[in-house]
Chain A
Amino acid sequence: MLFFSFFKTLTNQTVTIELKNDIRIRGILKSVDQYLNIKLDDVEVLDLDKYPHLSSVKNMFIRGSVVRYVMLPRSEVDVGLLEDATRREAANQVGKAR
């Protein structure tokens, strides 16, 4: 659930998503859910000439399972905080496993 919470803090930021079929889409992150399905507003498809079917799309729902990368604005990510949270989550997992 850590990354779900993390993405929730990034709503209304501009992100670029690369899909597993190499399409790259930039847009404003509007929503995310437990599967990391992502909703983008004001989308802009990079290399649109290759993907003409996306030319008149204004907002988009992307299934989490087809996402390869999400590129985030550097200034909006508190790396230290994220590292701490990750360690805490990992420690919790170990605790649960015992």
Chain B
Amino acid sequence: MERLSLNDNPANAQQQQQQRNPQQQQQFQQQNALGPAGQMPTSGPPQLPPQMFTTAAQLLDLTDKKLVLVLRDGRKLIGVLRSWDQFANLVLQDTIERIYAGNLYADVPRGIFLVRGENVLLLGEVDLDREDDIPPSVRQASFEEVFELKKKEDAQRKNSDKKRHTELSALGFEPEHSGEILF
């Protein structure tokens, strides 16, 4: 695992592991027969192979796909998943950040992202047939316009969060996910 470069396919990493785990060798061989970009078997429970229920198996399906990544700080990144590990640390290529505010959005090209797993909220595979169907409730605008609006919205939210926090703690409640900002 240590000697892998970003260009290596995660499937190769499993191949290396397989040499260290002879008893699992056969199972991995079955999986690798599907090819690095092959779909994991998604049907046929209840008797699923155990590796189906690992972080790696879940992320293997999403590798080299166009994804929406939502971070804990509310950022939405759209890019191609190229690499990952068991903590859901991720590498995204050709990433754009899509900023939403009110009923507007703007795209900012960002490039390559390496995201630490703890900051990941969710990871969604974009349906390429539907990706251009932007909901009628939002429309694209210039970055400056959206950014200004977002700054205002964020300030407003910060204010109301702070107010709620003080009211709750006066009543002896610890606010949910205290100290952690979630959007």
Residues of A participating in the B interface, judged by any CB pair closer than 8 Å:
4, 8-9, 11-12, 19-21, 30-35, 37, 39, 41, 43, 48-49, 52-63, 65-66
User: Which 7 pairs, one residue from A and one from B, show the smallest C-beta to C-beta distance?
Assistant: A57-B124, A58-B127, A61-B123, A56-B130, A21-B182, A60-B124, A56-B131
Q: In the complex, what residues of B have CB within 8 A of residue A12's CB? A: 45
User: B134 near A: Cβ within 8 Å?
Assistant: yes
Q: Give the size of the chain B interface in residues (CB under 8 angstroms).
A: 42
Q: In the complex, what residues of A have CB within 8 A of residue B48's CB? A: 8, 11
**Bound form: Cα–Cα A11–B59 in Å:** 17
A57 B125 Cβ-Cβ under 8 A: yes
A53 B118 Cβ-Cβ under 8 A: no
Residues of B participating in the A interface, judged by any CB pair closer than 8 Å:
42, 45-46, 48, 52-55, 57-59, 61-62, 68, 70, 72, 76, 88, 98, 100, 105, 117-118, 120-127, 130-131, 133-135, 137-138, 176-177, 182-183
Q: In the complex, what residues of A have CB within 8 A of residue B58's CB? A: 31, 33, 37, 39, 61
Please judge, given known A-B contacts A19-B122, A37-B58, A63-B121, whether A52 and B127 are in contact too, CB under 8 Å.
no
**Bound form: Cα–Cα A12–B52 in Å:** 13
A49 B88 Cβ-Cβ under 8 A: no
Please judge, given known A-B contacts A32-B53, A39-B58, A52-B135, whether A21 and B130 are in contact too, CB under 8 Å.
no
